[in-house]
Amino acid sequence: MTRPVVTAPGRLIAGRYRLESQIGGGGMGAVWLARDELLGRHVAVKQVLSPLGADERQVDEQRQRALREGRIAARLSHPHAISVYDVAQEGTTPWLVMEYLPSRSLAEVVTTEGVLRVDQVAQIGAQVADALAATHAAGIVHRDVKPANILIGQGGRVAGLVKITDFGISHAQGDVTLTQTGQITGTPAYLAPEVAQGQEMTEASDVFSLG
């Protein structure tokens, strides 16, 4: 069980980001649509939540994970990857400030529409593959490529635009991992066989997950 979302629309984060509505969430946090009042643009902000009853060490580890996600994502600039703009600190809670893409996740699209046409799959796959090539060239392994982390743009100029997101468990070369030795990270249904057997994730593991 996680700590409930103790926030609401209208709240100003770090004196700059005005929350408008919650647009997503998961076990480790909630994602909000917000307005950057300094630059006058919409952004997505991810509130990183600690588990209920977490001790000081666990809270600090969660904060370090958020900072690490921000650092890793900031190393990558690609038209098919969600950009991270800032890590805002509000009290003891870190907020990741990211590019906002009006979209549905690929998981939502498949649930709603069923099996996609071959040409749609090819178009989505090509854009994600392009982003992963740049990710790997930057020395980053995503480690959690799955439909829920692939966003499909909706409306206007972004219709059909595909971007990969959520670098929360990614690993960058030269970065210290926060994963305990022997612990398998990622989503079981999309893990490469060697990863399921306890081996280290590599660029090839990402490619398997994409497939």
Catalytic positions, please?
A: 144
Q: Which of 191, 160, 203, 165 is nearest to 76 (CA)?
A: 165
Q: Which of 95, 74, 90 is nearest to 167 (CA)?
A: 74
Q: Which of 19, 24, 25, 23 is nearest to 2 (CA)?
A: 25
Cβ-contact 167, 140 below 8 angstroms: yes
Q: Is the dihedral of CA 85, 173, 162, 96 positive or negative?
A: negative
**203-210 vs 118-137: helix axis angle to the nearest 10?**
170
